[in-house]
Amino acid sequence: MSPGGEQVMKCVVTGAAGFIGSTLTERLLADGHTVIGIDCFTDYYDIEVKRGNIAEASKNSDYTFIEGSLLELDLSSLLSGAHWVFHQAAQAGVRASWGEYFQTYTDNNILATQRLLEASRAHDSIEKIVYASSSSVYGNAETRPTREDLVPQPVSPYGVTKLAAEHLMSLYASEFQVPTSSLRYFTVFGPRQRPDMAFHRFIRAALSGDEITLYGDGEQSRDFTYVDDIVQANILAAERGPAGSVYNVGGGSIVTVNEVLSFLQNEIGELNIKRYDRQAGDARHTSACTDRARDEIGYCPQVSIYDGIRREIAWLRTRLEK
């Protein structure tokens, strides 16, 4: 039994060395579950950062780490006896998904997902596969807050691949009774955030006195979601999400980039901001309606945007002091 008295689950986490995957892994281990983590250490950002992300989990006897690609591993063997599968692995990045690099997105976001789903069909032990989808599937949503029944219209190749993988999740649930649940994440932030993401870039530059690069006029807004709330949504979806379900996961903190920068200036000091044109594929606004997730799985975000930013500032300060 886990520390809380619940059944111990055998979990598989793909993308286990990433920002969300490593945070989720540590929560599962803390809850008393066993975890097999899988990651191929793509070079989208510094691999040593990812190795650092799994350092703490690797000390736990209930954790097994497998380095390899979902495109090449014997997934059927790795899924044997698994109860929960958290599919966090993906090629990230909206701006990099254009041009000749697109095949990397189709391979790692679509084909890898299809291989995982095919392998899962042979394992009756699996109670839920939770897929990390994205608000990028909506593009420039016509209505906000955006509900799950709005027709997705992604505005980037990245969003297209995330939506395709989400459709695969729904198809395997309906055609082969694979118990899937997809979570559409809205702009996740917090400790371990990828170095290419806005908050990480802004805070690091502010703490170092470097130039902050801002694309667009700064009036674009996002529904920012703290990573611990994302982790909680994953666990709730594993426990309670019906097969084939799709949920928005937002933080309820909708602010503009300019408002974030103003807050950082108050917290850290004067900022040196360099403004550039908007980048192709960037949605103007995002805002999640999370009523379905609240009503069906009990999701309720706990961490506000500014409390979360303070935590990320503290984390990055510690890293920069090393």
Residues designated as active site: 158
CA pseudo-torsion sign 205, 285, 226, 106: negative
Q: How far apart are CA 98 and CA 154, in angstroms?
A: 13
Q: How many CA atoms are closer than 13 Å to the CA of 12, on its beta-carbon side? A: 29
Per the document, the length of the chain is 322
Which 3 state secondary structure label does DSSP give 268? helix
Please name which of 89, 83, 164 lies closest in space to residue 120, comparing C-alpha atoms: 83
Please name which of 253, 225, 234 lies closest in space to residue 293, comparing C-alpha atoms: 234
Please name which of 173, 151, 165 lies closest in space to residue 14, comparing C-alpha atoms: 165
Q: How far apart are CA 6 and CA 19, in angstroms?
A: 26
Which 3 state secondary structure label does DSSP give 85? strand
Q: How far apart are CA 199 and CA 212, in angstroms?
A: 10
**Measured at the alpha carbon of residue 172, what is the angle toward residues 167 and 178, in degrees to the nearest 5?**
130
Residue by residue, DSSP assigns 271-317 as -EEEEEPPPTT--SB--B--HHHHHHH-------HHHHHHHHHHHHH
Tell me, what DSSP letter sits at residue 57? G
Which 3 state secondary structure label does DSSP give 232? helix
